[in-house]
Chain A
Amino acid sequence: AQSVTQLDSHVSVSEGTPVLLRCNYSSSYSPSLFWYVQHPNKGLQLLLKYTSAATLVKGINGFEAEFKKSETSFHLTKPSAHMSDAAEYFCVVSDRRTGFQKLVFGTGTRLLVSP
């Protein structure tokens, strides 16, 4: 079965410093991987997605992620954190076994940004 493991439940950074949110995946075949962000009391927003094209994926708001098959990782990074980045981030893998797209979410990483 497809699964993702988010290695940190909380990450704290200062504004202007780099962000690293870690995610490892498990898949029996080439996966589609996503990062979603959820601000308090808001819906889920897609940050970026990997679908077997370029291994370095650029998303919205300056975020990017690199697919590393040898390490089964898909870590999310941003060079400089902004206060508005404080939110819950989910690493997600797509299960296409049935031909329909079922999303399997990680447990989430809460990003805290201090002034």
Chain B
Amino acid sequence: EAGVAQSPRYKIIEKRQSVAFWCNPISGHATLYWYQQILGQGPKLLIQFQNNGVVDDSQLPKDRFSAERLKGVDSTLKIQPAKLEDSAVYLCASSSSRLGYTFGSGTRLTVV
């Protein structure tokens, strides 16, 4: 079974620029998550999708962050404009009731 795919692996941008991350979950996993992991901290949930609907986006900074999951499969997370404090690893995960959680390897974002 293929894992959760994320791209790019690394991204360096200047503050106030925009950036987008892509995630392809495990086939058949209805639930998809985006987590933000700041250096030295545990991952924090940004947004959770069930199929293509948003279940929880309470910790998503909606003034600059947006996410979508078209057709209930792939998902993109966008930041516009980026701030220095957005430097982090962005982890995508997907889950099913039978198989549990699987995390991708993440995208490391550095904002300079």
Could you list which residues of chain A lie within 8 angstroms of chain B, going by C-beta atoms? 42-44, 46, 49, 90, 92, 98, 100-108
Contact = CB atoms under 8 A, between A and B. Distances in A.
Chain B interface main SS type: strand
Given A100-B55, A101-B95, A102-B48, A43 B104 contact: yes
Contacts of A44: 43, 91, 103
Interface residues of B, number: 21
Given A43-B104, A101-B101, A108 B42 contact: yes
Nearest to B104: A43
Interface of B: 31, 33, 35, 40-45, 48, 50, 55-56, 91, 95, 100-101, 103-106
Given A46-B100, A103-B101, 20 more contacts: A42-B105, A43-B91, A44-B91, A46-B101, A49-B100, A90-B42, A90-B43, A92-B42, A98-B55, A100-B48, A100-B56, A102-B33, A102-B48, A103-B33, A103-B35, A105-B44, A107-B40, A107-B41, A107-B42, A108-B42
